[in-house]
């Protein structure tokens, strides 16, 4: 199988959720759920990669490994500038869930690194937060300057709710409030993320709360609400909305800083999900990350919506657009390209490989649909659809193994894996497309 051309995937073995996204001294760190021993989920540990530009990555050795029948589940990382936790100024602190391999107990732990994330020492006083529960996981931690404390958002997965905790030192945690289910569809909450975002074109900010719902929620399961956060309580101002209408954009979390000139942080998601991943053919490695996406909010009438824009450094991997009028006859298309649908009104195209796998992408009456047809792995057959805010420009980031559709100037996203094989795919359709190919250095 071909590896992704411009998405991160490990050299070998299973990858899932991004973990511990943190920036230090010019390096973007990406830890992630990783099985060092195979392509199945298991022996969960934190794999590690670093980037200087958010576009190209270097894989490093496993950072936190399973030990004493305790796996290292998802979590976050912070730079403890003041040394509040006692591991020295600017120590990198990972906050993760310790998960007993018998599934009976999950608790929150910390580990510290003073060598730029290369090696971590687990805190001797772990766990730092324990409710004696089987499903209590995925701590998302950040420094909240106005209330001068660390904040942790963590889920009681089986109860479909999140708790907010505060701490002066990342060790002693006090419960502050609850983020309730409040009508959210589906079951089993995972990977919460709370972040302050700029409202486009204003100097206002609001807070985004995102959670992933394992089953029964629309799209990829990533749901969000926007509201206010005062250092103790998240007060939503919108209904639940869907972050990605594809099947496979899960467990996204962000680097909350540094931000760009518009105040936007970046997040990244796992292009997979637990229902589908195990059916994918073995190819030496299993799982890839989405492209990093810059986050902001847009006022849409009375409502606020999340806007996701592909990280500019990834766009810079591609050359100038070449106009292409789609037609009935199949023509070859490189397996890695940025496709921009530039015409107004309806269009459609099909990408196919020699084995009969297909992706149908179509815009009709304001609804964008992607149908994935895979006769070799029929568990992948799926139709995903989303209403789009504007047909002005639809970006389709095509890579070996994945397709990310970004429409409505970032307000509408749809991410899917695919298994189309070969150096080139066959393309036919109707409409106007501009194609950008990766530049040589990519
Ligand atoms: C989400 C998740 C998390 C958990 C991790 C285990 O994909 O189930 O809730 O921490 O994966 O790998």
For 39-98, give the DSSP string. SSS-S-EEEEEEESSSSS-EEEEEEE--BTTEEEEEEEEEEETT-TTSS-TTEEEEEEEE
- Which residues sit with their C-beta closer than 6 Å to ligand 1? 16-17, 33, 44, 73-74, 97, 137-138, 190-191, 251
Task: Write the residue with the smallest CA distance to atom 8 of ligand 1.
Answer: 190
Cβ contact 289:268 at 8 Å = yes
Residue of 17, 80, 244, 353 marked catalytic: 17
The whole-number pLDDT of residue 390 equals: 87
Domain covering 13-312: architecture: 5 Propeller (2.115)
Query: What is the position in ligand 1's atom list of the atom closest to the CA of 17?
Result: 7
Q: In which region does residue 176 sit, left (phi positive, over 0), alpha (psi from -120 to 50) or beta (all else)?
A: alpha
Question: Helix (H, G, I), strand (E, B), or coil: what is residue 275?
Answer: coil
Query: What is the position in ligand 1's atom list of the atom closest to the CA of 155?
Result: 9
The label of the residue with tokens 């007993």 reads: 100
Tell me if the bond preceding 312 is cis, omega within 30° of 0.
Answer: no
Query: What is the position in ligand 1's atom list of the atom closest to the CA of 273?
Result: 7
Distance 150 CA to ligand 1 centre (A): 23
Distance from the first to the final alpha carbon of the chain: 19
d(CA 352, CA 358): 4
C-alpha distance from residue 274 to each of 15, 190, 239, 348, 374 (Å)? 11, 12, 26, 30, 18
pTM above 0.95, yes or no: yes
Distance 134 CA to ligand 1 centre (A): 13
Residues of the chain predicted below pLDDT 50: 442
244 is catalytic: no
Which of 157, 251, 290 for a ligand 1 pocket mutation test, highest count of atoms within 8 Å of Cβ?
251
All structural domains of the chain with their residue ranges: 13-312, 317-436
Dig out the tokens for 84 from the structure.
Answer: 């509040």
Which of 13, 35, 65, 74 for a ligand 1 pocket mutation test, highest count of atoms within 8 Å of Cβ?
74
258: exposed, middle or buried (C-beta count within 10 Å: 0-12, 13-18, 19+)?
exposed
Question: Helix (H, G, I), strand (E, B), or coil: what is residue 20?
Answer: strand
Task: Match domain 317-436 to its CATH number in 3.90.1820.10, 3.40.50.720, 2.60.120.560, 3.40.50.970.
Answer: 2.60.120.560
**107-129: pLDDT as tens digits:** 999 999 999 999 999 999 999 99
Nearest to 279 by CA among 159, 382, 196: 382
Distance 324 CA to ligand 1 centre (A): 42
Q: Judge whether 13-312 and 317-436 match in fold.
A: no
Distance 28 CA to ligand 1 centre (A): 22
Other beta carbons less than 10 A from residue 383's beta carbon: 11
Task: Write the residue with the smallest CA distance to atom 6 of ligand 1.
Answer: 73
C-alpha distance from residue 145 to each of 183, 257, 261, 328 (Å)? 31, 13, 20, 58
d(CA 436, CA 434): 7
């Amino acid at each position: 199988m071909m590896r992704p051309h411009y998405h991160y995937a490990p050299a070998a073995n299973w990858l899932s959720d991004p973990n511990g996204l943190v920036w230090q001294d010019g390096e973007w760190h990406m830890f992630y759920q990783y099985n060092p021993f195979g392509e199945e989920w298991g022996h969960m540990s934190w794999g590690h990669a670093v980037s200087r530009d958010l576009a190209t990555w270097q894989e490093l050795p496993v950072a936190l490994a399973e030990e004493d029948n305790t796996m290292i589940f998802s979590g976050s990382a912070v730079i403890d500038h003041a040394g509040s936790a006692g591991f020295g100024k600017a120590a990198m602190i990972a906050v993760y869930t310790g998960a007993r391999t018998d599934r009976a107990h999950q608790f929150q732990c910390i580990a510290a690194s003073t060598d730029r994330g290369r090696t971590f020492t687990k805190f001797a006083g772990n766990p730092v937060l324990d409710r004696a529960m089987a499903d209590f996981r995925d701590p998302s931690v950040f420094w909240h300057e106005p209330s001068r404390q660390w904040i942790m958002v963590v889920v009681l997965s089986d109860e479909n709710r999140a708790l907010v905790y505060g701490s002066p030192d990342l060790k002693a945690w006090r419960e502050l409030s609850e983020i309730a289910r409040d009508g959210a569809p589906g079951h089993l909450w995972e990977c919460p993320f709370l972040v302050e975002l700029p409202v486009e074109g204003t100097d206002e900010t609001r807070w985004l709360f995102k959670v992933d719902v394992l089953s029964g929620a629309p799209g990829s399961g990533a749901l969000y609400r926007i509201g206010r956060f005062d250092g103790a309580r998240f007060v939503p101002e919108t209904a639940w909305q869907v972050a990605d209408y594809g099947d496979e954009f899960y467990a996204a979390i962000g680097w909350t800083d540094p931000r760009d000139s518009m105040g936007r942080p970046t997040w990244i998601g796992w292009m997979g999900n637990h229902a589908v991943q195990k059916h994918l053919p073995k190819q030496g490695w299993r799982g890839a990350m989405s492209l990093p996406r810059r986050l902001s909010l847009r006022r849409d009438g009375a409502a606020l919506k999340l806007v996701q824009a592909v990280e500019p450094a990834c766009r810079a991997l591609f050359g100038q657009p070449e106009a292409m009028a789609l037609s009935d006859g199949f023509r070859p298309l490189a397996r890695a390209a940025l496709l921009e649908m530039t015409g107004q009104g309806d269009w459609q195209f099909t990408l196919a490989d020699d084995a009969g796998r297909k992706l149908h992408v179509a815009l009709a009456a304001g609804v964008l649909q992607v149908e994935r047809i895979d006769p070799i792995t029929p568990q992948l057959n799926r139709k995903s659809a989303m209403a789009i805010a504007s047909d002005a420009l639809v970006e389709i980031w095509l890579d070996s193994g994945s397709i990310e559709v970004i429409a409505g100037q970032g307000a509408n996203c749809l991410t899917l894996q695919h298994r189309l094989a070969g150096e080139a795919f066959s393309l036919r359709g109707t409409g106007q497309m501009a194609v950008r190919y990766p530049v040589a250095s990519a």
